[in-house]
Structure 1
Amino acid sequence: MSVRWFSRLLGHPLPRSSAGDERLPNIQALPILSSDALSSVAYATEAALGILILGGSAALKLSLPITLAIIALIVIVVLSYRQAIAAYPNGGGSYVVARDNLGRNVGLVAAAALLIDYALTAAVSLMAGTQALSSLDPTLLPYEVPIALVLLVLVGWANLRGVKEAGRVFAIPTYAFVLMIALLTVAGLRDLTFHHGWHPDPPPLTAALEPIGLFMILRAFSSGCSAMTGIEAIANGVKVFREPAPVNARKTLLVMAVLLSAMFFAVSGMGFMYGIAPNPDITVLAQIGQRVFGNGSVLYWTLQITTLLILVLAANTAFSGFPRLAAMLAEDRCLPMQMNLLGDRLVYQNGIGVLLGITALIIVICRGDTTVAVNLYALGVFTAFTLSQLGLVRRWWMQRGPGWRGRMLMNALGSLTTFVVLVVIVVSKFDEGAWTVVIAIPLLVWGLAVIRRRYRQIFAALAPDPDAAPLQVVPRDPPTGHHAIVWIPSMMRPAFEAVRYACSFADSVTAVVVVQNDQDAGHLSQMWDRYVGPNTGALELVLLDSPFSSLLDPFCDFVTAAEQRHPERITTVVMPVAIPRDRLDVALLNQRARALFEALSDDQSRVFSIVRYFVPNGRDPAGSRSSGSME
């Protein structure tokens, strides 16, 4: 019942052949991958003003120059990432670029920064969305944390249902927010032209708490750079687009940059003209809406509701980027392999689940207040920006193809500017919480490196022994009537030990591998021929296709069909299980054989033989094997 209920909640499994259908046109990919960047318009200006107000009312006039400087930085970064997409058409995120051009360890730094940034992005977006809601109804202020958690569950559920489902859910609110900012801008220009006049209102008088100096300006600039979070998501998510994916991704990135720059400048400009100052009870964008649309008007309420929706949906950028990055790290053996498994809806559901847990923890710790989190999450994204563009500089220098000088200079400029911003953020925000990220990134890099090193040890210990005795079934007279079907999760030593054990008691042995693509099939056949030899009548290898993400269902169906074809013989299902000795190995090893045993035990009585292979703990020269049968 629980499996059936879960299937209804997330939708029926999608076949792998429909993965191409899950790719999105530009008009749907834009809201999925750009909602974070576009939604930053709702709080980036306020973040800069929140620092400038410390210098008194007179300091607020610096918001426009700071906004223009940030827009210039947006242009540089976007042009650099367009080059990254061209260089890496399958996804040119910071981790891939840094890993390929600057080395694996530097790539881990970029990956750690992005993982932290994605988690903070999801939390900040949801908490900011609840603040937009409480600006409409102050009675909701005590309930911001539970509201944010409920919204988090809804966003996670939409992403677990698949990319196409998420695109349908998120498209309308994102475009509605863009439309409302456009209406706000047009109405503001009309008011400034025909009623208000182009003379800025003085902001409310506020005494200066700090002198206006370069350090304060840099702090305000670094806070306003929160408008740049999410820019990399399109470069990371090239595979989301329909073909030609790189071309469509570059176009969408350009559209996103134009929209972001125009909206950011419009909000900052109207805030300056209307003398808007930060207010703890109402957001800057809401204050502008009240001045332009009128307090309590339908358009004002619509602005706040669409702001709430896009801030909530901005968390989707993290839910799109975090699982994909985690899957790449798992493929490189820097995270548990389970993070690279596609769910029934063709999404990395384990990565989504991990992000749900981390985001919920951040929301609870911050108590729904974005103040601390906003100061943190720009640090990770600018670390990734800098390393990605520095990697492209080295790439163009090494390749020296046509036009390489112009490309290299563009990325060098981008790397230099983002590095300067990174230093500014670290220095100006260190006492405000940035020190936690400065410590967290090296710790996370160390953890990723430890996992990578342990995987190397495990795979070296479990690698097939080329000097082992040949595997063959010894003819028995008279025959015992036993047939063994061996589950082969991978061509490693535990699997071959399971085949060897099956050959010791059965008249015939069938080793079964469920493959996901044709390339895997060819590689697996070559390894079988290398370590076992060609198929014989008594010992054969069978490769099964998996139309869906599940690798267990095809094997279960094969076992059932084999038993029905030959009811006269005794069929034993032999399954290798790698038994971890270290606590870390428990998370690193995928114990799919246990789930397979449960699946095969549901239908009818069967004979099972579990071949346990103990993984060396780093001190043992080799693993040990034991077997036991269950009926």
Structure 2
Amino acid sequence: MFRLLQTLFGKPLPRHQADEATLPSFEALAILSSDALSSVAYGTEATLGVLVLAGSGALKLSVPITLAIIALVAIVVLSYRQTIEAYPQGGGSYVVARENLGTIASLVAAASLLIDYVLTAAVSLMAGTQALSSLVPQLLPHEVSFSIVLLVLVGWANLRGVKDAGKLFAYPTYAFVLMVVVLALGGVFNLAFGHGFHAAAPLPVKALEPLGLFLILRAFSSGCSAMTGIEAISNGVKIFREPAAANARLTMVVMGVILSAMFFSVSALGYAYGVAPNPNITVMAQIGTRVFGENSALLWALQISTLLILALAANTSFADFPRLAALLANDHFLPRQMGWVGDRLVFQNGILILLLAAGLIIIICQGDTTVAVNLYALGVFTAFTLSQAGMVLHWWRLRGSAWLGRMLMNGLGAFTTLLVLLVIIVSKFNQGAWTVVVAVPIIVLLLASVRQRYRQVYGAMAIAPGQINVLEIPKRTETLGNRAIVWVPSITEPTINALRYAAAIADHVLAVWVKSDDEDSEQIEAAWQAVVGVNTGIEFRVMASPGASLVAPFVECVESEEEKYPDLFHTIIMPMAIPKQPFDGLLLNQRSINMRQALVDQHNRVFTVVRYYLTC
């Protein structure tokens, strides 16, 4: 089984190779911009799908609406360049809002993005399936199954690690960009020497609603789905090679230019050829048929590249959902295991949760993107607004070089994205946006309740201020030949109880703390001496983990001690807090469970759990 897992997901990577997993700008653009660039495939279609409600004559408004969205793209891109400069380690909406607007605003941003990432993954995969079914109508009854297969493949690629994913995703992303360029050039050639530079009349469609400001705003808000994924580069600055911030800022501009040019080309060609929405054939496929010819090789290349980038666009969610979940876990708003880094240096638990959530959305929507597209722009514009508002306060407090111009740029971004957010809420409330409006505060309450419970539990396990627990091994008249190895996850009452038990039964006690990357050995040693004391007869060892796992080093330490003293009995002692509330098991002891199983697998003979029963 272990060899099978290594074959599927790759060999474990040493933690020092995390820096080597960074990407050059060429690959980072592909992995972080796949969502934004792929939205070209359905952004125009989303706009036309609303305009057609007012009849075929209203479809001509798609071009001015596209230009308005492109202007908004430029504002957001320039605004996020400021964010990257201020937060070179990664400045997502959650981080910016947390540091500038407070806890509630940061949780609203986090909840909005968590919803958006799930919907983005589902919409991208369903849209990718529709791109293929436009060529192969026989696939229409199997769109849900095909979308699920694509979801599993993208999840597998991400579980192998970001470096492998970057190489895998670069080729399809740039293939799609190339095919849109070929489509645009072919369209201009056809318009110049065949069709002529005049707009063809679309097939007559009976108006179901009057053409008014409200419908135009609905069409605009639908087209704004083309802007999802823009924040990904700001979130993923660490993925870039050094100088990471400078490379990310340049890549942000390049992505904005490519997105705008592609989006305008598709909308302009759709207007020129009189393309109208068709439930069985995508707008992109209709344009490709007019430019390349029906069933031509270039049409197939266009649709296959569209399928691939839409499938891989879900990678933006697989890159950012686990990273955001890890940030929330580190702040105790989610269970700590969401912040664990797997052997392939990725947040594997977050990836698995996203797989399940996106699969559920695909099944509920039955492969139809209409409802999901109406929802998922709301979350990203909520995050846009909070992020830019937070940056305004950041520059106001800092007041460094050129602070006023930067503050005005972010202020413009906050104002425009807030207007779009209000338009989306009002115009799409009855089309399903109300579910997101309701879901966001519910998720915020859940996140806040997790942190509150963590505080209660940690408070119950904390050692009283000023209390020093001097643990001494009792002097024995004869040597029992028993050694105890105690796993120390933290210096709390459960750990002290485990050490007391070890001191009572063993001639020698070794306490082992395996530290994570964000922990400091000197601080751990100081905390140990302050609470446990000195000259206790207990050996305290702080170990660094060469890989991602904090379990493996402890298991290796046990093996080493048993080999060093083969004639002695070794008792492995582990503290464990026993929760009182039914759901506390999700918050506590997850690593302890993994540790115990790893030791069982190594056939250790004596294993003891010292239980500490919580009273809260």
TM-score, length-scaled by structure 2: 0.98
Correspondence list, 1:99-498, <5 A = 99-465=98-464, 466-498=466-498
Secondary structure at the counterpart of residue 19 of structure 2 = coil
Offset of residue 570 of structure 1: 2.2
AA in 2 matched with 1:209: L
Secondary structure at the counterpart of residue 379 of structure 2 = helix
AA in 2 matched with 1:375: N
In structure 1, list runs of 5 or more residues that go unmatched: 618-631
Offset of residue 408 of structure 1: 1.1
Correspondence list, 1:503-514, <5 A = 503-514=503-514
Q: 2: distance between equivalents of 1:37 and 1:616? A: 49
Offset of residue 557 of structure 1: 1.6
Aligned twin of 2:52: 53
Secondary structure at the counterpart of residue 549 of structure 2 = coil
Secondary structure at the counterpart of residue 433 of structure 1 = helix
Offset of residue 518 of structure 1: 7.7
Aligned twin of 1:28: 27
Q: 1: distance between equivalents of 2:45 and 2:604? A: 66
AA in 1 matched with 2:114: L
Offset of residue 519 of structure 1: 4.2
Secondary structure at the counterpart of residue 21 of structure 1 = helix
Check the 8 A contact 2:484/2:573 in 1, yes or no: yes
Aligned twin of 2:549: 550
In structure 2, list runs of 5 or more residues that go unmatched: none
Check the 8 A contact 1:36/1:229 in 2, yes or no: yes
Check the 8 A contact 1:578/1:591 in 2, yes or no: no
Offset of residue 487 of structure 1: 0.7
Secondary structure at the counterpart of residue 571 of structure 2 = strand
Aligned twin of 1:42: 41
Check the 8 A contact 2:502/2:509 in 1, yes or no: yes
Aligned twin of 1:625: none
Aligned twin of 1:582: 581
Q: 1: distance between equivalents of 2:17 and 2:535? A: 33
Secondary structure at the counterpart of residue 259 of structure 1 = helix
Q: 1: distance between equivalents of 2:297 and 2:591? A: 55
Give RMSD over aligned pairs: 1.2
Offset of residue 560 of structure 1: 1.7
Q: 2: distance between equivalents of 1:314 and 1:117? A: 13
- Worse-matched range after superposition: 475-484 or 492-501: 475-484
Check the 8 A contact 1:479/1:507 in 2, yes or no: yes
Q: 1: distance between equivalents of 2:328 and 2:40? A: 31
Secondary structure at the counterpart of residue 454 of structure 2 = helix
Secondary structure at the counterpart of residue 543 of structure 2 = strand
Aligned twin of 2:83: 84
> Cα deviations across residues 209-241 of structure 1 (Å, max 9, x unaligned)?
111110011000000000000000110111111
Aligned twin of 2:561: 562
Check the 8 A contact 1:330/1:337 in 2, yes or no: yes
1:612 aligns with 2:605: no
AA in 1 matched with 2:32: L
> Cα deviations across residues 412-455 of structure 1 (Å, max 9, x unaligned)?
11111111111110111111100100000000001000001111
- Worse-matched range after superposition: 76-85 or 519-528: 519-528
Check the 8 A contact 1:535/1:541 in 2, yes or no: no
Secondary structure at the counterpart of residue 520 of structure 2 = helix
Check the 8 A contact 2:576/2:610 in 1, yes or no: yes
Check the 8 A contact 1:486/1:511 in 2, yes or no: yes
Q: 2: distance between equivalents of 1:390 and 1:597? A: 47
AA in 2 matched with 1:357: L
Q: 2: distance between equivalents of 1:495 and 1:587? A: 20
AA in 2 matched with 1:74: V
Secondary structure at the counterpart of residue 472 of structure 1 = coil
AA in 1 matched with 2:560: A
Q: 2: distance between equivalents of 1:467 and 1:486? A: 21
AA in 1 matched with 2:79: S
Check the 8 A contact 2:470/2:534 in 1, yes or no: no
AA in 2 matched with 1:39: S
Secondary structure at the counterpart of residue 504 of structure 1 = helix
Offset of residue 605 of structure 1: 5.0
Q: 1: distance between equivalents of 2:560 and 2:482? A: 16
Offset of residue 584 of structure 1: 2.1
How many percent identity over aligned positions?
A: 61
Check the 8 A contact 1:338/1:590 in 2, yes or no: no
Structure 1 residues 219 and 467, CA gap change in structure 2 (3 angstroms): same
Aligned twin of 1:621: none
Check the 8 A contact 2:381/2:417 in 1, yes or no: yes
> Cα deviations across residues 107-128 of structure 1 (Å, max 9, x unaligned)?
0000000000000000000000
Secondary structure at the counterpart of residue 572 of structure 1 = strand
> Cα deviations across residues 464-500 of structure 1 (Å, max 9, x unaligned)?
2342541221222223322211011122221121111
1:11 aligns with 2:10: yes
Q: 2: distance between equivalents of 1:576 and 1:519? A: 20
AA in 1 matched with 2:353: V
